[in-house]
Structure 1
């Protein structure tokens, strides 16, 4: 670097002023140049910096940190534009530091000071430019993930799908409630078809953010299909043929009769959506599907999950003729506090060899509550690349990309203002072999009312008539105590 002529901007300075002014210029851009005699350039940089800081602070103050992050996170082009602007700003800052150093460069023959000054400036510039690579990587991963997951919403989503959202600020102003179907599938190599062994519907009050998660038994029988469901041409009286026609087979029926769903890319999803609409008495607006492997990978990407296990749960286990097949259990999840990896969490949420479907539904509710409790922004940001890959590879949703801004607003409201309650339709509420759908609709209406009655809703059958559970294997194992998860409508944080 060539020094300016002595006296042009004052007497030549030593190493101390150079170190101080370049460091000050890194903390408050433009200040080093301003104090080195470059008043216009330094003042301009400082003014632009302060305007950006005040604007960003005002934006975060008005929206709140979470909502501000969600607002930016779902706007792919805006986020990319901000990253490009940020990279250019860092390059300008690095150039200003080099210019500040040149204005205060030690004169000869102070060779040692010149070497120290050069090393310091180089390290300072590297420190300023260091965020460029990871920031760019995170943004590209994020954009790619959003494009992959939400591209499905741009195609025809089949009969029964809704697109009720408005545009602009408060896009939900004409939509008091939105319902999302959450499906956990057990499709994997070696097993034909897709079985929806975990089915929930999240019903969200868009004004308060209050959310109710309804858990639907996989072995529900006598499924009403509804007048708009194309499967009524095959099953005009509903999907009713005893234990061969269960709720978790509706998806496969849709795929089997895809000719009844012309132009529909996912007839199984549509058939399930319409069936659950009739089961709950709630219109299903959107769907999210995740497979077992995706759930396991998600828990691993989050660093595991902490759960207090209440009764011994088998890993694996196959039931035939009411008995557990010898050798089919590969291990046990023992009672007490457990830090589970994805594989263990998957079996905790889906095992039923020694219990039943209803106990499993309760454990799934426990799992949801545990995952909700441990989500925190710093950890999720650190693990974001792994989480994004899991989401991209294992999650399907028909939420359109253009609705992401509205969903960011709603998610922020749910997290900051709302409560998340859960109500699985266990044998305490519904008799799966002969469901009273009028009673189910009544229970749903109570749960989503502004002042729901919490606890266990009265069953729709007489006390002398007991519901039938699907597995006939023993409910407990030697040395264990049968412990039921909380029943009825409860906050997911208190579900276990």
Structure 2
């Protein structure tokens, strides 16, 4: 019994070692062929090498964790790792089966043999399932990195902040081109992860482009062709006029980055586009999100009938209901919808902990490759994962550039940039001194509205508000 248990334990801790021990024993040498011993030696050597590499990486990670994590963003590392894990899922159980066979002795009782057989079966299942599951997740990670994070672009932080443009692309069979109806700029501190979120309405007009760019030369007074030249039309405009946005694989995204840079005065480092048609798959992949629904929100509307409602109160929303909560504007305005989108994004940030991501990783990776596009390179992924963890533990200050702060039809972009600067100053804990965040001068700045009106678009901007920043978590109360 002790011999049988020893062989199983040796194989569990060091695959191949039981065969080598048995092969050196005169009692079992006749049972082991040269081929079996060769497989055992190769398995043990690979196992020892893997342990040495793991220990070495752990030691290096103590000094430079980002460098170690960065290794696992390369295809030449994670693909072979996935293959090794999948191969281990086959070889390891077979070595346990062989250890069970060579450990059987005539003097064992029938009852002991049954217990040994049961233990061997359990260990074979474990050594098959664990490497298989890990191998599948690593392979899914490789697909995710190649499908989403394929860019080689490098963009350094400016004055200690990364500015990432978040676009909600609204594509569909009845729409021509992508129109990013959700436009948000996340400004993230490169050390702490503290984040400021700036939301811009899709119907913003007279959008300026940064001075000196081809787009600014084409539109010296801003993107000012009336109601057809809204902020959310710039993505399609960029794709239709790639010569104005050279040197990029996605002229539409580059056009939006330049537009938001002109609006806020912040250099935009990267963009992330989420297709709202596939957003529900992403929410379903993480098991849904918890959101405090402030008001009864319709499902449907517009060109279709209202066919349901999302009730007020604390709600656990699946992908279908989360998508409608973020998109619905029947009975409300675009600006109400922007606030709900902000709450949905905050809920995702708060609830996507490492355990949840690992548990649903394959589904998340599969959904992400279908609905997410970004120019963040894979090698920068460890940095942004660390920043995301920092954002979870800090307040997220947010400004919505909507009435009465600005008038989308006649926006005062100098006021927009003043609000951006003051929000970042307050977030950095330096309310008195002038912020060092660089301001990129646009080619033109629209003047504020002077006319009167009662509609949302014509509402007069608030002159008394010193800062429009709010704490997203206090407003949304998302878990």
Output the TM-score relative to the length of structure 1.
0.74
Identify which of 386, 398, 407 aligns with 1:431: 407
How many Å separate the matches in 2 of 1:212 and 1:91? 49
**Once the two structures are superposed, what CA deviation does each residue of 1:316-368 show, in whole Å capped at 9, x if it has no partner?**
222xxxxxx8x733322221122222222122112222222222211111111
Quick check: 1:427–1:467 contact (8 Å CA) kept in 2?
no
- Shift in alpha-carbon separation, 1:82–1:233, aligned structure 2, 3 A: same
CA distance in 2, matches of 1:261, 1:44: 54
Task: Give the Å deviation of 1:184.
Answer: 0.7
Contact persistence 2:165–2:272 (CA under 8 A): yes
Q: Could you give the per-residue CA deviations for residues 148-174 of structure 1, whole angstroms, max 9, x where no partner exists?
A: 1123x25xxxxxxx7334xxxxxx6x8
In 2: Cα distance, 1:356 partner to 1:90 partner: 54
Task: Write the deviation string for residues 391-429 of structure 1: whole angstroms up to 9, x where unpaired.
Answer: 1112111223xxx23331242144147634322222242
8 Å Cα contact 1:183/1:289 also seen in 2: yes
Q: Residues 304 and 103 from structure 1, CA distance in 2 versus in 1: closer, same or farther, beyond 3 angstroms? A: closer
Counterpart in the other structure of 1:283: 267
- The Cα of 1:75 is off from its aligned counterpart by 3.1
1:293: how far off?
0.9
Give the secondary structure class of the aligned counterpart of 2:414.
Answer: helix
| Aligned counterpart in structure 1 of residue 312 of structure 2, from 332, 335, 340 | 335
- Following TM superposition, by how much is the alpha carbon of 1:91 offset from its aligned partner in structure 2, in angstroms? 6.7
**Which of 391, 398, 414 is matched with 2:368 structurally?**
391
- Contact 1:210–1:414 (8 Å) recurs in 2: no
Aligned partner of residue 149 in structure 2, secondary structure:
helix
CA distance in 1, matches of 2:316, 2:329: 20
Task: Report the CA distance shift for 1:470/1:244 in structure 2 as closer, same or farther (over 3 A).
Answer: farther
Q: Within 5 Å, give how 1:272-351 maps onto structure 2.
A: 272-318=256-302, 328-351=305-328
Which residue is 2:397 aligned to? Answer: 421
Instruction: Specify the alignment match of 2:385 in structure 1.
Output: 411
Does residue 141 (structure 1) correspond to residue 140 (structure 2)? The answer is: yes
Indicate conservation of the 8 Å contact 2:349/2:388, yes or no. Answer: no
Q: 1:29 aligned to 2:29?
A: no
Q: CA RMSD in A?
A: 4.0
The answer to whether 1:381 aligns with 2:323 is: no
Tell me the distance in 2 between the aligned counterparts of 1:163 and 1:272.
18
**Partner residue of 1:194?**
178
The correspondence of residues 75-224 of structure 1 with structure 2, limited to 5 A, is 75-86=74-85, 97=96, 101=100, 104-107=103-106, 113-114=112-113, 117-118=116-117, 120-151=119-150, 153-154=151-152, 163-165=154-156, 176-224=160-208
Which secondary structure does the structure 2 equivalent of 1:221 belong to? coil
| Long gaps (5+) in structure 1 | 1-15, 155-161, 166-171, 319-324, 455-459, 473-486
SS at match of 1:347: helix
Q: CA deviation at 1:439?
A: 1.5
Could you tell me which residue of structure 2 aligns to residue 443 of structure 1? 419
Sort the Cα spacing of 1:340 and 1:452 in 2 relative to 1 into closer, same or farther, 3 A. farther
Check if 1:493 corresponds to 2:469. Answer: no
- Verify: 1:250 aligned to 2:261, yes or no: no
Residue 276 of structure 1: CA displacement? 1.1
Listed as ranges, the gaps of 5+ residues in structure 2 are 26-40, 433-446, 460-466
Per-residue CA deviations over 1:203-245 (Å, capped at 9, x if unaligned) read: 1221222222211111112211233443445533211244343
**CA shift in 2, pair 1:371/1:205, >3 Å:** same
SS of aligned partner of 2:184: strand
Report how many aligned residue pairs link the two structures. 434
Which is further off, 253-262 or 419-428?
253-262
Distance 1:296 1:92 in 2: 39
Residue equivalent to 2:442: none
How far apart are the structure 1 equivalents of 2:127 and 2:103?
Answer: 20
User: How far did residue 59 of structure 1 move?
Assistant: 6.0
Matched residues in 2 for 1:45 and 1:311: separation?
59
CA distance in 2, matches of 1:139, 1:50: 18
